[in-house]
Chains A and B, each alone.
Chain A
């Protein structure tokens, strides 16, 4: 079980700021995104603008294999606007 955090536009689309989901311990980033998109189909609209932060490190929605521990935090990061 990992915790997924939603921010900005992605939080507006899903209607939640965070949720716990169950995923395999080893999973590719893109597969993880597809799991999340299955739960929130509206996120398909922003797929090309999203990057993950896994344990607070940026990970692109690609083939990178994630090794997840229970309680790990995964953030859905839309285009940022700080500065």
Chain B
């Protein structure tokens, strides 16, 4: 399965006006670009590296959610997991979530990593990101048991906004 990484910068008008001026030596005057890093992949990645992506000297906190997987379901042992993803749409839906987050909370950087692991968002944005990701991002997980398998389905409605 291919891995996709996107980093985009968002400038607002105020930030552009505070662009580098050669005569300024005080680094506090420099505005840090807000960024989003989106990575939907089956490759492993260390959680602390994801955290590093969002740390900012302008912010006082990093909020992190780490999702893990179970080894059993209804008494059946899970032997392995398979994934499918509709990649371009998954990426777009995650971007929409990031955009919604920025409208609701004063967040600087956002990193969303989905694979066998992890995602990060900031403070109250965490719950929203997880709930919405489960409802809208087209990723599927199949549990392989000893004698059968099943595609999982999140027990949420589509939550499509009208």
Chain A residues within 8 Å of B, Cβ to Cβ: 5, 7-9, 11, 49, 51, 53, 56, 58, 60, 75, 77-83
Contact = CB atoms under 8 A, between A and B. Distances in A.
Contact of A79 (B90, B137, B153): B153
B78 interface: no
B92 to A, nearest CB: 6
Nearest to B160: A58
Contacts, number: 71
B154 A53 contact: no
Given A78-B153, A82-B114, A56 B133 contact: no
A77 B142 CA distance: 15
A53 B138 contact: yes
Contacts of B29: none
Contact of B137 (A60, A75, A80): A80
B58 to A, nearest CB: 29
Interface of B: 67, 84-86, 88-90, 92, 114, 130, 133-142, 151-154, 158, 160
Given A7-B86, A9-B151, A81-B152, 18 more contacts: A5-B86, A8-B140, A8-B151, A49-B153, A56-B88, A75-B86, A78-B153, A79-B153, A80-B136, A80-B139, A80-B153, A80-B154, A82-B133, A82-B134, A82-B137, A82-B138, A83-B134, A83-B154
